[in-house]
Structure 1
Amino acid sequence: MSSRRCSERLAAVITLLLLATPAAAQTGRSPASPSVPNQRVTGTGIAVEGDLLTVNGRPVRLMGIDAPDPGQTCLTRGGRSYDCFASSTAVLRGLIQGGEVECTVADRDRNGQEMGECRVSGVDLGRAMVLRGWAFAYRSLSPAYQEAEAYAVSRRLGLWAGKVEKPWQWRSRKLLEAR
């Protein structure tokens, strides 16, 4: 079979795959992860963690970011240890400030928890957390907040003002230490 014919067949197969799963092609999600894509949740928001809130009691993880975990500590510029989990959670609480939260649930994480983009008065909470340096852009889930993180790093804002271990690295280290 000629290379041109192979290329034509490959293009036809790719086209068929894209047509068969248009939602997956547009969102980057697998077709097997449909919680109810783009379901809107609106109401009173409460910060549970720096990347997790409840809206009318319904947990929603902020998509595309990762914030310090419970028990995680960081160091200030001067080398003092502090509870960066509590600090990050407090910043999210301040961003919500009793305002009405509007989330668009886009997917579920590997634990089945709903993830989405949430806003208060039009402000994207995930972006605001990363821009202020209190959460990390979770690039493996979304490239959306890379520029916001670069800004926070360049200005040494929030967690970047001192020494911090990225939450996914901290979790991995803790799992290894527990063995």
Structure 2
Amino acid sequence: MWFRRSRLPPDLRDALRAAERAARPPLHRRVAARLRAVGRMPLLAWIVLAGLLGFAGWKAGLVGDGASVAGPSTPRPVARITVRASAVDGDTLAAGADRLRINGIDAPEMAQSCERAGAAYPCGRLARDAMASILGRGMVDCEILGADQYGRRIARCRNEAGQDIAAELVRQGWAIAFRRFSLDYVGQEDEARRARRGIWDGRFEEPDAYRARIRSGAAH
């Protein structure tokens, strides 16, 4: 007969609970029974469980303190070209009518000045001159990665000596790693900073911040 336990007298409820506890197997037997059930799981179930646990750990690493979050990755090349190019500025090449924006770096703008030993100097023009020197005779082998909002082709290029021209410019201190788009040249930037090469031998405004400031001033 069905009844509500809460309606029973207190002493009867206590006796009923005691009887139920006495009828249950001891804790160690219940644990052993569950372990035996786990041991009978088929291999496929174990594989699925391991996969779920692995994914949970990976996801926790991503969203934990942020240290495991990967940076922006360089896109896959969509084409490859070999052309004669010249330096427009520290991070852009001209190849005939085409403009190639070098991927992963940002160099001072042509009109930009930096400071060294308390005096201003034309770091934008010096960055362009450094790029021209790295280009040598100007023959470059480039992987085209896409295009930017200005219609320039985004490229990763090597000179005739096989040097990654972006890596060399950053290593010399005339460009910085453009972390918003790529982490490929962070090591070269760290090296240039430690050695105080190029713009690191003094004070400078990051090119992206410089452009934003100029645009903001023009808007007013």
Do the structures match in fold with TM over 0.5?
A: yes
Q: TM-score, normalised by structure 2?
A: 0.63
1:167 aligned partner: 207
The 2-side partners of 1:161 and 1:140 are apart by: 24
Runs of 4+ in 1 over 3 A off after TM superposition: none
Q: Deviations over 1:128-155 (max 9, x none)?
A: 1111100010001101001110111111
The 1-side partners of 2:125 and 2:194 are apart by: 23
Q: How many residues align?
A: 151
The 1-side partners of 2:77 and 2:84 are apart by: 21
- The AA in structure 2 aligned to 1:106 is L
Q: 1:85 to 1:171 in 2, by over 3 A?
A: same
Of 75, 82, 88 in structure 1, the residue corresponding to residue 127 of structure 2 is 88
- The AA in structure 2 aligned to 1:72 is Q
Task: Give runs of aligned pairs for residues 1-179 of structure 1, distance below 5 A.
Answer: 37-76=77-116, 78-120=117-159, 121-178=161-218, 179=220
The 2-side partners of 1:99 and 1:177 are apart by: 36
The answer on whether the counterparts of 1:42 and 1:55 sit within 8 Å (CA) in structure 2 is no
Question: Any gaps of 5 or more consecutive residues in structure 2?
Answer: 1-47, 56-72
The structural deviation recorded for 1:37 is: 4.1
Greater RCO (CA < 8 Å, at least 6 residues apart):
1
More helix by share: 2
The 2-side partners of 1:37 and 1:155 are apart by: 33
Let me know the Cα RMSD of the aligned residues: 2.2
- The AA in structure 1 aligned to 2:114 is C
Give the SS at the match of 1:123.
coil
Larger Rg over CA atoms: 2
The structural deviation recorded for 1:41 is: 1.7
The answer on whether the counterparts of 2:81 and 2:142 sit within 8 Å (CA) in structure 1 is yes
Identity %: 32
The 2-side partners of 1:139 and 1:115 are apart by: 15
- The AA in structure 2 aligned to 1:89 is R
The structural deviation recorded for 1:56 is: 4.2
Q: 1:144 to 1:112 in 2, by over 3 A?
A: same
- The AA in structure 1 aligned to 2:164 is D
The 1-side partners of 2:78 and 2:201 are apart by: 35
Question: Any gaps of 5 or more consecutive residues in structure 1?
Answer: 12-26, 30-35
- The AA in structure 1 aligned to 2:203 is K
